[in-house]
Amino acid sequence: MSELGVRAEKLDAADELAGLRAQFVLDAVSGHAADAAGVYLDGNSLGALPAAVPGRVDDVVRRQWGELRIRSWDESGWWTAPERIGDLIAPLVGAAAGQIVVGDSTSVNVFKAVVGAVRLARLAALKGSGTTGTGVRDEIVVDATTFPTDGYIAESAARMTGCTLRPVTPAEVPGVLGDRTAAVLLNHVDYRTGRLHDLPSLTAAVHAAGAYVVWDLCHSAGALPVGLDEHGVDLAVGCTYKYLNGGPGAPAYLYVRRDLQDRFDSPLPGWTSHADPFGMRPDYEPAAGALRGRVGTPDILSMLALEAALEVWDGVPIESVRAKSLALTDFFLECVAEYVPSGRVECLTPVAHEERGSQVALRCEDAGDVMRRLIERGVVGDFRHPDVLRFGFTPLYVGFADVERAARVLAETLRVSGGGGG
Amino acid sequence: MSELGVRAEKLDAADELAGLRAQFVLDAVSGHAADAAGVYLDGNSLGALPAAVPGRVDDVVRRQWGELRIRSWDESGWWTAPERIGDLIAPLVGAAAGQIVVGDSTSVNVFKAVVGAVRLARLAALKGSGTTGTGVRDEIVVDATTFPTDGYIAESAARMTGCTLRPVTPAEVPGVLGDRTAAVLLNHVDYRTGRLHDLPSLTAAVHAAGAYVVWDLCHSAGALPVGLDEHGVDLAVGCTYKYLNGGPGAPAYLYVRRDLQDRFDSPLPGWTSHADPFGMRPDYEPAAGALRGRVGTPDILSMLALEAALEVWDGVPIESVRAKSLALTDFFLECVAEYVPSGRVECLTPVAHEERGSQVALRCEDAGDVMRRLIERGVVGDFRHPDVLRFGFTPLYVGFADVERAARVLAETLRVSGGGGG
């Protein structure tokens, strides 16, 4: 065994989170010969299946739907699932209870949050409570390097609120903020490079300009501490199918800071966010609290699968998860440096811990071909157009031996593949 | 056995759809003593569980997610599910393939459709192609008796497109249409009274005014022919958890008529509606066809449960379903007239077939209490505030003996209950 292989065994033996792997379905046969000893490094795209989920879903389908039917809205707690499950996510992102509701896709929640932020900014400007006075608040600043849906939805929000969209890099954000800024939409971790942005200081900069910030936590929630309450974040959204393992297309969530909730003015005021939803009243009156982020009838099957998936977090401190995440990505970078010929790949992920999420992105010209071969050999990451190999490290179920093996197979694959240097 | 009981047996024996009941889970124990012989008349709120669903969901969870994981986006057809399942719904609402996508809640789809309709109307006015010239198109007309979420969302759409909302009764709609009308949002069947509105003539009236119509099919799809293509409907939305039996909070759908698709301008342009979604391009370019009604990552568990649920429709003509639906509601009204003391309830549902959906709504002052007792005796309908008993008749699994029994138990319950006359 190589020296790094021995190191991996020692690291795994000392890993206090190692036991959590047994709570996931990871070693099933999946059609590829190599998968019996496969390494799943795509949990930043679709988290693995928690072992508690199949039985729960079966109960939801057969008993709650099949037998209790309509009575389950009360008796099985369907009606209150969005806020109940929101409260399960809350501690993972540093939020006290009562500020998160689950439902809809991330894109739809970005729309609610950005429009909501613009309206909050204008309300504050009207009341003269903005820290920089009463500007017109007609600009939405968005991270130009963001996952594209955020940019598309922010553009629609801008168009529908009479704002101009201003796409800049996160580094440029502080320099463009001013008394015209209404809302700023930022990604906590860049989906492509894995770069972690400085949430506390960017949030403070947005607030100093009298604007409101929306953070997209898709690539950070469940991998590292977010500290929404601590840092005074206004609004946040995130998906639940990456590091939270909620399942394919599982419902997303919306965080609205408690003291903003009574002014949060959703562009999607569906009946389930009404103060008296079964009153069937013609006039809309929003519910108190985070509930006003709800829209239509909650998607129960997916939502209760997510609830079961979140049970693995019971008693798991997010700080331990972060420590292991950094150890995993450090070790992967070390193995890649050792095994992969110099210059064959370029690392896009920052080396500094405070700038790194829980993934490593490697650039090489033949990335699409390389990832195909890697997957054939049971090492599953993903390819991002045009030239990025993306490897996600989910601390709940990825171990150090997995990391060493992935780097070794990657090196072998890169040697066989004919592509040019990175 | 009573004369009506004998009639019910004969009607069941002659029912060509009677065999479909075996494709649903209906006779399981559910906690109430009477349920072993229960009657489920709440399929207009939550359809019963199709027998094919539990096995399919289990395969989606354990194999597609648990074993194939990320590869299922291609290998298990996850990515194309919204349009593939849309094409399964299409024949049930009289639409050719390629015009429906499944996803999001009904409320979110109402927002897409109403904003889309306003934009279509303004585009047509700009081009001078409106049949009544180039009005400002700044009014949205909405059914004031509609399920409230439609009104709330239409109000938000009006606010965000610079329109005025004009709530009127469906009967008043033709009289208020004019060259200021941009969009009209109507329910095909009223959720409370069960009244069926005249889709062909109202659609024609909206078009004559140069405006665009959005039909909400929640209470008609799966119960009666809709004829979207035949009647030239512009846009339509609907849920899938009532007569389509897709499960609690199952994804809704959006219909955009083929010749309008290249001008349909969604307010929720999420990444999965992009022409090149994996190009991750900064600029939004909408996909061709119905796909531009997609938004975020599709909710796979719920969506594929719905796909399995739709299998029961294979070879079932919607015309036969409609014929049985009318026979069921006719028979229920006859049984109620025979069994229930005169004046104890008032029927809100129209007697004329062309004005009746697939439910019967009965008004009585003590409706809440009466429905509680009915459910205790295994006859499950629902209560709508303040005084309505609602009974839905799903032709796929409700039989005539069910109807006779429900009316008999209702009469007994009304005799026992102390409420005043209707």
Chain A residue with minimal CA distance to B297? A249
Please name which of A211, A173, A214, A193 lies closest in space to residue A357, comparing C-alpha atoms. Answer: A193
Q: Is B421 strand, coil or helix?
A: coil
Among the partner residues A61, A70, A282, nearest to B42 by beta-carbon distance:
A70
Q: Mean pLDDT across chain B, nearest whole number?
A: 94
CB contact under 8 A, A299 and B48: no
The distance in angstroms from the start CA to the end CA of chain A is: 29
Residue A332 to chain B, least CA–CA distance (Å): 21
For residue B214, the cross-strand partners are: B185, B235
Pairing assessment for the beta strands A235-238 and A253-256 based on DSSP bridges: antiparallel
Q: Mean pLDDT across chain A, nearest whole number?
A: 94
Chain B residue with minimal CA distance to A277? B148
What is d(CA B236, CA B258) in angstroms, rounded to the nearest whole number? 12
What is d(CA A281, CA A289) in angstroms, rounded to the nearest whole number? 20
The distance in angstroms from the start CA to the end CA of chain B is: 29
CA angle centred on B265, ends B264 and B267, rounded to 5°:
135
Q: What is residue B65's DSSP assignment?
A: I
- What ipTM did this prediction achieve? 0.95
CB contact under 8 A, B152 and A305: no
Residue A168: count of CB within 10 angstroms of its CB: 17
Question: What is the rounded average pLDDT of the residues A140-144?
Answer: 95
Q: What is the DSSP string of B316-356?
A: --HHHHHHHHHHHHHHHHHHHHHHSPTTSSEE-S-SSGGGB
CB contact under 8 A, A300 and B107: no
Are B26 and B402 a contacting pair, CB within 8 Å?
no
Residue B2 to chain A, least CA–CA distance (Å): 30
- Side chain identity at A241, as an amino acid letter? Y
**CB-based contacts of B315, cutoff 8 Å, min separation 6:** none
What is d(CA A116, CA A153) in angstroms, rounded to the nearest whole number? 13
Are A90 and A102 a contacting pair, CB within 8 Å?
no
Question: What is the rounded average pLDDT of the residues B317-327?
Answer: 98
Let me know if B321 is exposed, middle or buried by CB neighbors in 10 A (0-12, 13-18, 19+). Answer: buried
Question: What is the rounded average pLDDT of the residues B391-413?
Answer: 97
Chain B residues near residue A305 by CB distance under 8 angstroms: 61, 301
Chain B residue with minimal CA distance to A299? B249
What is d(CA A298, CA B48) in angstroms, rounded to the nearest whole number? 17
The pLDDT of residue B147: 80
Residue A219 has pLDDT above 60, yes or no: yes
Q: Which of A40, A147, A331, A339 is catalytic?
A: A147
Residue B412 to chain A, least CA–CA distance (Å): 23
Residue A379: count of CB within 10 angstroms of its CB: 25
Q: Is A164 strand, coil or helix?
A: strand
State which H helix or E strand residue A392 sits in.
Answer: strand A388-392
Q: Which of B56, B137, B195, B242 is catalytic?
A: B242
CB contact under 8 A, B295 and A269: no
Q: How far is CA B98 from CA B10, B103, B110, B272, in A?
A: 42, 15, 19, 16
Residue B232: count of CB within 10 angstroms of its CB: 15
To the query of whether residue B216 is one of the catalytic residues in this protein, the response is yes
Q: Which of A191, A212, A241, A339 is catalytic?
A: A241
Question: What is the rounded average pLDDT of the residues B182-189?
Answer: 97
Tell me the count of A-B CB pairs closer than 8 A: 269
Q: Is A251 strand, coil or helix?
A: coil
What are the tens digits of pLDDT across the range A280-295? Answer: 888 999 999 999 999 9
Residue B157 to chain A, least CA–CA distance (Å): 8
For residue A212, the cross-strand partners are: A183
Main-chain phi, psi angles of A148, to 5 degrees: -55, -35
What is d(CA B168, CA A35) in angstroms, rounded to the nearest whole number? 62
Mutant choice from A24, A25, A69, A303 vs B, greatest count of B C-beta within 10 A: A69
Instruction: Say which residue the tokens 């846009």 belong to.
Output: B235
The pLDDT of residue B134: 53
Q: Is A363 strand, coil or helix?
A: strand
Q: In this structure, is the dihedral angle defined by the CA atoms of residues A294, A295, A300 and A301, taken in order, positive or negative?
A: negative
User: Using omega within 30 degrees of 0 as the cis cutoff, is the peptide bond preceding B386 cis?
Assistant: yes
Residue A235 has pLDDT above 80, yes or no: yes
What is d(CA B129, CA B235) in angstroms, rounded to the nearest whole number? 19
Q: Which of A21, A56, A122, A242 is catalytic?
A: A242
Question: What is the rounded average pLDDT of the residues A307-312?
Answer: 98
> Which parts of A177-234 are beta strand (E)?
181-187, 212-216
Question: What is the rounded average pLDDT of the residues B87-103?
Answer: 98
Chain B residues near residue A302 by CB distance under 8 angstroms: 299-302
Q: Which of A15, A42, A190, A216 is catalytic?
A: A216
To the query of whether residue B242 is one of the catalytic residues in this protein, the response is yes
- A112 vs A149, residue with greater confidence: A112
For residue B380, the cross-strand partners are: B40
CB contact under 8 A, A78 and B248: yes
User: Using omega within 30 degrees of 0 as the cis cutoff, is the peptide bond preceding A386 cis?
Assistant: yes
Chain B residues near residue A167 by CB distance under 8 angstroms: 282
Please name which of B202, B150, B194, B142 lies closest in space to residue B169, comparing C-alpha atoms. Answer: B142
Residue B55 has pLDDT above 70, yes or no: yes
To the query of whether residue B24 is one of the catalytic residues in this protein, the response is no
Percent of the residues in chain A that have a pLDDT greater than 70, as a whole number: 95
What is d(CA B328, CA B45) in angstroms, rounded to the nearest whole number? 18
CB contact under 8 A, B67 and A30: yes
- Side chain identity at A357, as an amino acid letter? G
Are A17 and A320 a contacting pair, CB within 8 Å?
yes
Residue A415 has pLDDT above 70, yes or no: yes
Residues comprising chain B, all counted? 422
CB contact under 8 A, B305 and A301: yes
Q: Which of A324, A390, A405, A408 is catalytic?
A: A390
Q: What is residue B302's DSSP assignment?
A: H
Domains recognised in chain A with CATH numbers? 3-47+316-416 (3.90.1150.10), 79-313 (3.40.640.10)
CB contact under 8 A, A274 and B148: yes
What are the tens digits of pLDDT across the range B372-392? Answer: 999 999 999 999 989 999 999
Instruction: Say which residue the tokens 């009647």 belong to.
Output: B231
Please name which of B396, B390, B377 lies closest in space to residue B47, comparing C-alpha atoms. Answer: B396
- Side chain identity at A145, as an amino acid letter? T
The pLDDT of residue A127: 84
CB contact under 8 A, B65 and A247: yes
Per-residue confidence band for A38, with pLDDT thresholds at 50, 70 and 90: confident
- B39 vs B36, residue with greater confidence: B39
Of the CA atoms within 13 Å of residue B85, those in its CB half-sphere come to: 32
Residue B209 to chain A, least CA–CA distance (Å): 26
The pLDDT of residue A32: 45
Q: Is B104 strand, coil or helix?
A: coil
Are B346 and B365 a contacting pair, CB within 8 Å?
no
Chain A residues near residue B25 by CB distance under 8 angstroms: 62, 66-67
The pLDDT of residue B354: 97
Residue A194 has pLDDT above 90, yes or no: yes
DSSP count for chain A of H helices, then E strands? 12, 15
Are B229 and B236 a contacting pair, CB within 8 Å?
no
State which H helix or E strand residue A233 sits in.
Answer: none
Q: Is A365 strand, coil or helix?
A: coil
- A30 vs A38, residue with greater confidence: A38
Are B96 and B229 a contacting pair, CB within 8 Å?
yes
Q: What is the DSSP string of B129-189?
A: -STT------EEEEETTS-HHHHHHHHHHHHHHT-EEEEE-GGGHHHH-STTEEEEEEESB
Per-residue confidence band for A363, with pLDDT thresholds at 50, 70 and 90: very high
- Side chain identity at A1, as an amino acid letter? M
The pLDDT of residue B280: 85
Residue A284 to chain B, least CA–CA distance (Å): 6
State which H helix or E strand residue A21 sits in.
Answer: none
The pLDDT of residue A1: 84
To the query of whether residue B390 is one of the catalytic residues in this protein, the response is yes
To the query of whether residue A264 is one of the catalytic residues in this protein, the response is no
Are A160 and A183 a contacting pair, CB within 8 Å?
no
Chain B residue with minimal CA distance to A298? B249
What is the token pair recorded at A342? Answer: 């110099």
What is d(CA B255, CA B236) in angstroms, rounded to the nearest whole number? 5
Chain A residue with minimal CA distance to B55? A58
Among the partner residues A42, A105, A147, nearest to B70 by beta-carbon distance:
A42
Q: Is B386 strand, coil or helix?
A: coil
What is d(CA B139, CA B211) in angstroms, rounded to the nearest whole number? 10
Main-chain phi, psi angles of A250, to 5 degrees: -55, 155
Chain A residues near residue B301 by CB distance under 8 angstroms: 57, 247-250, 301-302, 305
User: How large is the angle between the packed helices A367-376 and A400-416, nearest 10 degrees?
Assistant: 120
Are A301 and A57 a contacting pair, CB within 8 Å?
yes
What are the tens digits of pLDDT across the range A150-169? Answer: 999 999 999 999 999 999 99
Q: How far is CA B125 from CA B163, B185, B202, B206, in A?
A: 15, 19, 21, 14
What are the tens digits of pLDDT across the range B230-270? Answer: 999 999 999 999 999 999 999 999 999 999 999 999 999 99
Q: How far is CA B292 from CA A152, B100, B272, in A?
A: 13, 10, 8
What is d(CA A49, CA B360) in angstroms, rounded to the nearest whole number? 44
Residue B396 has pLDDT above 70, yes or no: yes
Q: How far is CA A393 from CA A94, A390, A406, in A?
A: 21, 10, 11
Pairing assessment for the beta strands B164-168 and B181-187 based on DSSP bridges: unpaired
- Side chain identity at A172, as an amino acid letter? E
Chain A residue with minimal CA distance to B36? A67
Q: How far is CA B282 from CA A141, A143, A184, B116, B247, in A?
A: 14, 11, 17, 23, 36
Among the partner residues A149, A279, A296, nearest to B385 by beta-carbon distance:
A279
